[in-house]
Structure 1
Amino acid sequence: QQQHPSMAPPRRSPAAGRPRLVRASPVLKPKVKAQSRSRTPPQTWKADYPLLKGLRARRNAPVDFVGCEKLADPRASKADFEWQCLVAAMLSSLTRDQANAEAMACLRIHGNSAKNIAATPEAKLRKLIIKVGFPKVKAKSLRASAKMCLEQHGGRIPRTIEGLMALPGVGPKMAYLVMTTALNQQPGICVDTHVHRIANMLRWVRTKTPEETRVALESWLPKKEWPDINILLVGVGQMQQQAVQDLVEAGLALGSRRAPAALKLMKRMGVPLRRDRWPMLDAAAAKNPDLGKLLKRC
Structure 2
Amino acid sequence: MSLKKRAGAVVERLSKLYPDPVSALDFTTPWQLLVATVLAAQCTDARVNTVTPVLFERWPDPEALADARTPDLEEVIHSTGFFRQKAKNLIASANRITHELGGELPRDMAGLTSLPGVARKTANIVLSNAFGIHEGIAVDTHVKRLSNRLGLTVSDNPIVIEKDLIPLVAQEHWGDFNHYLVLHGRNVCKARSPQCPDCVLDNICPKVGVSRQA
- TM-score, normalising length from structure 1? 0.62
Cα offset, 1:248, TM superposition? 4.6
State the distance in 2 between where 1:42 and 1:242 align: 24
* Offset of residue 86 of structure 1: 1.3
Q: Which residue of 1 aligns with 2:27?
A: 72
3-state SS of paired residue (1:154)? coil
2:87 paired with 1:87: no
1:122 aligns with 2:70: yes
Deviation at 1:111, TM superposition (A): 2.9
Distance 1:160 1:43 in 2: 29
Deviation at 1:241, TM superposition (A): 4.1
Q: CA, structure 1 residues 98+270, in 2 after alignment: closer, same or farther (shift >3 Å)? A: farther
Deviation at 1:272, TM superposition (A): 7.6
Alignment of 1:238-249 (within 5 A): 238-239=186-187, 240-241=189-190, 248=195
Unaligned runs of 5+ in 1: 1-39, 74-80, 253-258, 275-297
What is residue 268 of structure 1 aligned with on the other side?
207
**Partner residue of 2:140?**
192
Structure 2 length normalisation: TM-score? 0.84
Counterpart contact for 2:138–2:178, Cα < 8 Å: yes
Q: Quick check: which has more Rg, 1 or 2? A: 1
The separation in 2 between residues aligned to 1:183 and 1:53, in whole angstroms, is 21
Pairwise CA distance, 1:265: 6.1
- Extract unaligned runs of 5+ from structure 2: none
Write the deviation string for residues 187-215 of structure 1: whole angstroms up to 9, x where unpaired. 22111121122111110122231111111
Q: Contact 2:137 / 2:178 at 8 angstroms: preserved in 1?
A: yes
Give 2:82's match in structure 1, choosing from 126, 134, 145: 134
Answer yes or no: is 1:52 the counterpart of 2:14: yes
In the alignment, structure 1 residue 203 sits paired with structure 2 residue 144: no
Overall identity of the aligned pairs, in %? 27
- Residue pair 1:106, 1:129 contacting (<8 A) in 2 also: no
Counterparts of 2:175 and 2:18, CA distance in 1: 15
Aligned residues: 212
